Structure 1
Amino acid sequence: MQQLERLVAEARDLAAGAIPLTDKEVEVGRIMKICNACRYCEGFCAVFPAMTRRLEFDKADVHYLANLCHNCGACLHACQYAPPHEFAVNVPQAMARVRGETYSSYAWPAALGSLYKRNGLTVALALAGALALFLMLAMMAAGGLLHRPLAGNFYAVFPHNTLVLMFGTVFGFAVLALGLGVRRFWRDVAPGALGSGAAAEAAGHVLALKYLDGGHGEGCNNEDDTFSLQRRRFHHFTFYGFMLCFAATAVATLYHYLFGWHAPYALNSVPVLLGVAGGIGLLIGPAGLLWLNLRRHPLHGDAAQKPMDIGFIVLLLLTSSTGLLLLGLRDTAAMGLLLALHLGVVMALFLTLPYGKFAHGVFRSAALLKWSIEKRLPNRLQLASD
């Protein structure tokens, strides 16, 4: 069995070596060889100890390391070979450029990934506007945008089965596209056998955003060499805000189908409380991330990805703001209009999830899991030197 696994690994290495690297991937390989000789940043994050297990960097290795990088910026400010040095070592920027390629190269369908990568903000806003307009036109055809107060009964505007069909289709597409993309990534990076210890460790690193602490607990660098935990905290607000909103939908689904308790729910009910908490998190987190993104040091990331990044952040902000506004005005004549606007934004968010920063979170989680598996295996380079 061990011989078979070795032959499979060798075949993968040969196949990966036969695939030409892009210029951005070649740059990551060049930088990693310099870093491998220096190793000053070895304790900063998982990228550098993972790097030391390799002498050459094929396409799969570069994709793995690029998605393992959290773009905290600490290594750039600590590096003696960073620009303007002639070696021009810039790990965060090189990794960010390759990550952008992985979003589109692993995307399904690939054409949608390329479109969103080039025009993220435009696509996000246009899709949200188009879907909201479609729902508003459907309301007008059924009677008008304004109506008598309906005590928050959304299903009087759009029937329950219609909403389930629309959002079930959109959610299913997002899960399918993300699943196919990360499956291809996982297969390419050849993670090895999964154990419970590795899975638990990786889950802890994902939930705590461990590597956004700069490797020393003081946080990331953003616009200069000052350390700050702001980026980590805003990511936490965003992630857990999103999860609370998802939990609110899940609880409401159980209420409806398991207990026969139909919406609208009281303001002190579990679905509403979860939704409000999640909505507030999705206001604070994305607003903070947008502020940091606009102020970020130009050497930290890939400027070409800013429209994609900002597009995702704006959709999150629109989702939370329209949702909270809808809750606050659900017993007014404007409820139907706000509902159409909110539903259009939410559908646009889920349709674009597989092609932008949300996909980056899924791929990064997969890379962290591979690292937790890999670190438990013997280091072939160290065994060879012994």
Structure 2
Amino acid sequence: MQADLIEEARRQADICNACRYCEGYCSVFPALHRERFLNDGDITQLANLCHNCRGCYHACQYTAPHEFDLNLPKALAEVRRDSWETYAWPAPVARRFHTHGGAIAIASVLGFAILFLVIRMIGEAGGGGFYTVLSHNAMVGIFLPAFLFPLASIAVSLRRYWTFVGGGRVQVSDVASAIGMVASMKDLAAGHGDGCNFEDEDRFSHARRYAHQAIMSGFLLCFASTATATLLHYLFNMPAPYPFWSIPKLLGVPGGIILTLGCVWMASLKLQSERELGDVNAWSGDFGFITLLGFVALSGLALYVLGSSIAMPVLLALHLGAVLALFMLTPFTKMAHGFYRLTALIRNAQVDG
């Protein structure tokens, strides 16, 4: 990890530890105030507990032009991004995505889409629905490794992180506490419950919290749709396509709508936010990921509506290309933040307990 980022975050954290004005703001400050001396692992843990709500910045009396020049949200955001890049496997891909995320996302989607169109040109796959473009076996052969790769990559990354922050044996109560924090997005409400200051300077708002929840719930509904379709295919010999009133469609269509709207909302909030209160070097990667995730949902909905039209092969190629790009890039995008934050909250629950 970059020592200069750690040292700057430690300098600011030491001042915050002496002041303690923001003690009840979020999970960061109680964790910060537990320690008198902060080692590199402590700073990294604090960085991944931080949700960049920016409430502490607007409440702070030591921001510029004060000589202390505190900007804790920015300092922790830089350490957080550096920790993801350091522990990612393989690390060089993570560094490149954070600085060129938009271009990489677009190139990946188009590249994979062209690949699927070339496969179709080679010959018809046979079967009904989407399987006339790409056979079921071909989809499994392509997407199963693409699904397993990010899981393995993230597992390696989190193990490295857990070791560095001094994590111990995990208890069920620690996991339950962390999942509860994630589900409620409690830290985005701040300790006072008025919300965060992300998109409009010092005005409190729950918008970012609700946008996060929309993205999370929409994604989980889409994942549940795919999972139930897999069960129907293999356990009940009921292959796709499925009618609207089937479980996969009743989960997937609302999930796709919620996920699309959540991503549009989050992108709007990010455009309104002050970049200098976050990690400017990761802005492209963050925005590229939001755009990619939203396009996966939107292209899936378009495919559902136009699935029987002549546009179906192109739409399917674009959708599958976006899904494949999302899978392959997951360990190096903002999606990794969810895994790291859950792990940081589990570690925090261990210390609290």
Shift of 1:152: 6.7
CA–CA distance in structure 2, aligned partners of residues 191 and 179 of structure 1: 15
C-alpha distance in structure 2 between counterparts of 1:158 and 1:195, whole Å: 44
Q: Is the radius of gyration larger for structure 1 or structure 2?
A: 1
Residue-pair matches, total = 352
Unaligned runs of 5+ in 1: 1-19, 145-149, 377-386
8 Å contact from structure 1 (residues 121, 308) kept in 2 = yes
Shift of residue 141 of structure 1? 2.8
TM-score by length of 2: 0.96
Distance 2:124 2:232 in 1: 30
Kindly provide the CA deviation profile for residues 108-152 of structure 1, in whole angstroms up to 9, marking residues without a partner as x. 0112112212211111111111000111122223269xxxxx997
The separation in 1 between residues aligned to 2:93 and 2:175, in whole angstroms, is 31
- The Cα offsets for residues 3-60 of structure 1, whole Å up to 9 and x where unpaired, read as xxxxxxxxxxxxxxxxx86211111100111011000101111111111122222221
Question: Match of 2:276, as an amino acid?
Answer: L
1:46-97 deviations in Å (ceiling 9; x for gaps): 1111111222222211111000011111100111111221101111111111
* 1:322-337 to 2 correspondences below 5 Å: 322-337=299-314
Structure 1 partner of 2:119: 138
Over 3 Å off, 4+ runs: none
Give the alignment of 1:86-97 within 5 angstroms. 86-97=67-78
1:212–1:219 CA contact under 8 A, matched in 2: yes
Say whether 1:24 aligns with 2:5. Answer: yes
Q: Give the alignment partner of residue 198 of structure 1, picking from 174, 187, 195.
A: 174
Contact persistence 2:221–2:255 (CA under 8 A): yes
Match of 2:319 in 1: 342
Shift of 1:350: 0.9
User: Map of 1:176-191 to 2, 5 A cutoff?
Assistant: 176-191=152-167
Aligned to 1:71: 52
1:369 to 2:346 alignment: yes
Whether the 8 Å contact between 1:152 and 1:330 is mirrored in structure 2 is: no
Q: CA deviation at 1:208?
A: 1.1
Asked whether the 8 Å contact 1:24–1:94 carries over to 2, the reply is yes
Change in 2 beyond 3 A, CA 1:238/1:110: same
- Listed as ranges, the matches of 1:212-227 within 5 Å are 212-222=188-198, 223-227=200-204
Q: Of 247, 268, 271, which residue of structure 2 is paired with 1:291?
A: 268
If the length of structure 1 is used for normalisation, what is the TM-score? 0.88
Deviation at 1:194, TM superposition (A): 2.8
Inter-partner Cα distance in structure 1 for 2:128 and 2:264? 28
Q: Distance in 2 between matches of 1:354 and 1:195?
A: 25
CA–CA distance in structure 1, aligned partners of residues 179 and 105 of structure 2: 30
Instruction: Specify the alignment match of 1:275 in structure 2.
Output: 252
Question: What is the SS of the residue equivalent to 1:227?
Answer: coil
Correspondence for 1:8: none
Whole-Å separation in 2 of the counterparts to 1:339 and 1:321? 12
Give the one of 80, 83, 91 matched to 1:99.
80
Q: Does 1:39 align with 2:39?
A: no
Compute the RMSD of aligned alpha carbons. 1.6
CA distance in 2, matches of 1:245, 1:298: 31
Say which of 234, 251, 259 aligns to 1:257: 234
Query: Percent identity among equivalent residues?
Result: 43
Q: How many Å separate the matches in 1 of 2:93 and 2:172?
A: 35
Q: How does 1:44-63 map to 2 (within 5 A)?
A: 44-63=25-44
